[in-house]
Amino acid sequence: MSTGYNFAYLDEQTKRMLRRAILKAVAIPGYQVPFGSREMPLPYGWGTGGIQVTAAVIGADDRLKVIDQGADDTTNAVSIRRFFARTAGVATTEKTREATVIQTRHRIPETPLSEGQIMVYQVPIPEPLRWLEPRETETRKMHALADYGAMHVKLYEDIARFGHIATTYDYPVLVGGRYLMRPSPIPKFDNPKMDNSPALQLFGAGREKRIYAVPPYTSVKSLDFEDHPFEVQRWDQACALCGSTESFLDEVVTDDQGGRMYVCSDSDYCGERRQEQGQ
């Protein structure tokens, strides 16, 4: 641990402000709470929102896992993990089961989450209605009045153009039957995992200065049409490494001759399965 930093980089007053925003967000599931986002030592778009939320909730006895696109070993994941190891001296892990705080970009781990765990999502654009309505005053009013019918226009447009709902990530959800929420750019494959999850889910958007949350055991419903129900992606292949047919697969190009393989995007899940098979 480096000296010269306050615990988890941010000063105590800032963390207090963040915790207030988080408490409010938990109290109103899916509602976007504004907060005073700080400059962080990494660029916007790399997880400044997530890192601030993590800094506010992490304690000395927490164990942190950071994933980027499901993997623990990519640049963003490694540097954020190291950031907290240095500034807070917390233990880190790559195992989903062992982690108490999981900061994530673009995925929810395949291993089911449990009570007491906190998921922290990095969010680029928190406003689900932005695509339809550029005015912030108007989108706030739409949230206040639960005036969400227009959101289906986007889904309608998908079906009209592609024959099915072609939105595959950042798929809009209704939280607790009340607030429309963007689940951050996770694949819609992960949307069902948010529904009634035993873990606390926190969302931080650093550039847009918004925090929102899904408390444990809250309903999270993906929007759909009666005759075009919500569906997740399916693959014809199994994971080339661990043989899983249930996980989210990444397509990896292996050579210039068109060779490619499908592997689990969740590196911890895949590794664990391979270890079990090896024994």
Partner 1 sequence: MNDHPLLRVNGLTHMYGARVGCRDVSFELWPGEVIGIVGESGSGKSTLLSCLSTRQRPTAGVVEYDTTDQGLVDVYGLSEPRQRMLMRTDWGIVHQNPRDGLRMGVSAGANVGERLMAVGARHYGRIREQAGTWLDKVEIDPTRMDDQPATFSGGMLQRLQIARNLVTHPRLVFMDEPTGGLDVSVQARLLDLLRRLVTDLGLSAIVVTHDLAVARLLAHRLMVMKDGQVVEHGLTDQVLDDPHHPYTQLLVSSVLQP
Of 159 and 240, CB closest to partner 1: 159
Window of 54-62, 63-71, 80-88, 218-226 that interacts with partner 1 by CB under 8 A: 218-226
In degrees and rounded to multiples of 5, residue 51 shows phi and psi of -65, -35
CB of 226 to partner 1, least distance (A): 5
**Four-residue CA torsion sign, 152, 157, 163, 166:** negative
Question: Exactly one of 23, 141, 252, 275 binds partner 1 (CB under 8 A); which one?
Answer: 141
* 159 counts as binding partner 1 under rule CB under 8 A: yes
Instruction: Please measure the distance between the N-terminal and C-terminal CA atoms of the chain and give it in whole angstroms.
Output: 36
Number of residues that bind partner 1 (CB under 8 A): 19
Q: Can 30 be counted among the known catalytic residues?
A: yes
Burial of 235 (0-12, 13-18, 19+ CB in 10 A): middle
Contact status: 147 vs partner 1 (CB under 8 A): yes
Query: Is position 163 an interface residue for partner 1 (rule: CB under 8 A)?
Result: no
Query: Is residue 160 involved in binding partner 1 (CB under 8 A)?
Result: yes
Residue 239 annotated among the catalytic residues of the structure = yes
CA distances from 55 to 14, 83, 253 (A): 10, 10, 36
Site for partner 1 in 226-265 (CB under 8 A): 226-228
Nearer to partner 1, 224 or 250 (CB): 224
Judge contact between 274 and 249, C-beta under 8 A: no
225 binding partner 1? (CB under 8 A):
yes
Nearer residue to partner 1 within complex by CB, 86 or 141: 141
Any contact of residue 195 with partner 1 (CB under 8 A)? no
Measured from the CB atom, is 4 or 229 closer to partner 1? 229
Crossing angle of helices 48-57/12-27, nearest 10°? 100
Indicate which single residue of 12, 138, 157, 231 sits in contact with partner 1 (rule: CB under 8 A): 157
Q: Which is nearer to partner 1, 155 or 239 (CB)?
A: 155
**Which residues in the 111-140 window bind partner 1 by CB under 8 A?**
132
Tokens of 109: 């781990």
Q: Tokens representing 20?
A: 């207030």
> For residue 224, with 0-12 CB atoms within 10 Å meaning exposed, 13-18 middle and 19 or more buried, which class applies?
middle
Active-site hit among 30, 47, 70, 206: 30
CB of 185 to partner 1, least distance (A): 21
- 34 versus 134: smaller Cβ distance to partner 1: 134
* Number of separate helices (H) and strands (E) present in the chain: 7, 12
The CA angle 220-226-231, to the nearest 5 degrees, is: 55
- Which strands make up the sheet holding 91-92, listed edge to edge? 33-34, 210-214, 200-205, 118-122, 101-105, 63-68, 91-92
- Give me the active site residues, please: 30, 239, 242, 264, 270
Footprint on this chain of partner 1 (rule: CB under 8 A): 132, 141, 145, 147, 149-150, 152-154, 156-157, 159-161, 224-228
